[in-house]
Amino acid sequence: MNLIKDNWTKKDIEEFQKYLKTFENKEKVEWATNLLRTSLPVLCMTTPVMKDIVKNICKGNYEEFLNFMVWDYYENTAINGFIINNIKDFDTMKKYLDIYSKKADNWATCDLLSFKVKNNEDKYFSLALDYVNNDKPFIKRIGLNILFNFIDNNNYINKIFEILDKFQDEEHYYVNMMNAWLLSECFIKQREKTLEYFKHNKLNKFTINKGIQKCRESRRVSIEDKDMLLKYKIK
């Protein structure tokens, strides 16, 4: 199928959906559905195939493609997300991300997103704050995903700790898991400041223990630090 188009029509989208269906791996659909835990049907397409499709769509009028907002399969969601990753203009990106985030119903939909925050740090951090304060867990997870881009920035690291403390009573597994991952990355990249944070944090038991576990599983953490972190675990 020709994916490089100046104009996308409803007929083109119908053809596109049939095209996606040709990549269905029926033998792995059940496995993938259980892994993703999405409510959408899954075709079990590979990520390289989807990214190749996105690469071609982005050579044409990708905004018009996005405007059709097709969500029939998990793969539609993923393809929309990968296209959003390629949008350089912040306001345009946010327009589509706001729609996308409301469709997010699984961890992969959140984690496939990437953000180029350079030269737009204030806008992206503000967006992250809006998302982490949302009631929907997977919108929160997207907000936390954005924060990974600020760990190396000394102007934001303490603000990240303040955000983490707001999840003291969080009960959703996939939000707590993202928090734990974020905490471990903070330790790896901002060791001294994160150790200071450990002394007065308001993290829930799951998050701090899982974050320490992730540090102990990382090759980027020394054996000495892996042993030292055990004292911060909550029994």
Total domain count for the chain? 2
Q: Can you give the pTM of this predicted structure?
A: 0.94
Structure-token match 């791996």, residue found: 25
Residues 123 and 234 in one domain: yes
Residues 12 and 77 in one domain: yes
Find out whether 172 and 138 touch, Cβ atoms under 8 Å.
no
Tens digit of each residue's pLDDT, the chain (235 residues): 999 999 999 999 999 999 999 999 999 999 999 999 999 999 999 999 999 999 999 999 999 999 999 999 999 999 999 999 999 999 999 999 999 999 999 999 999 999 999 999 999 999 999 999 999 999 999 999 999 999 999 999 999 999 999 999 999 999 999 999 999 999 999 999 999 999 899 999 999 999 999 999 999 999 999 999 999 999 8
Q: How far apart are CA 96 and CA 45, in angstroms?
A: 23
Residues 139 and 203 in one domain: yes
Residues 85 and 197 in one domain: no
Q: How far apart are CA 166 and CA 88, in angstroms?
A: 31
| Alpha carbons within 13 A on the beta-carbon side of 80 | 28
Dihedral sign, CA of 26, 99, 115, 185? Answer: negative
Residues 45 and 76 in one domain: yes
Q: What CATH number does the domain containing 171 carry?
A: 1.25.10.90
Of 58, 88, 114, the one marking the end of a domain is 114
Find out whether 121 and 153 touch, Cβ atoms under 8 Å.
yes
Residue 197 belongs to domain spanning: 117-235
Residues 222 and 125 in one domain: yes
Residues 132 and 109 in one domain: no
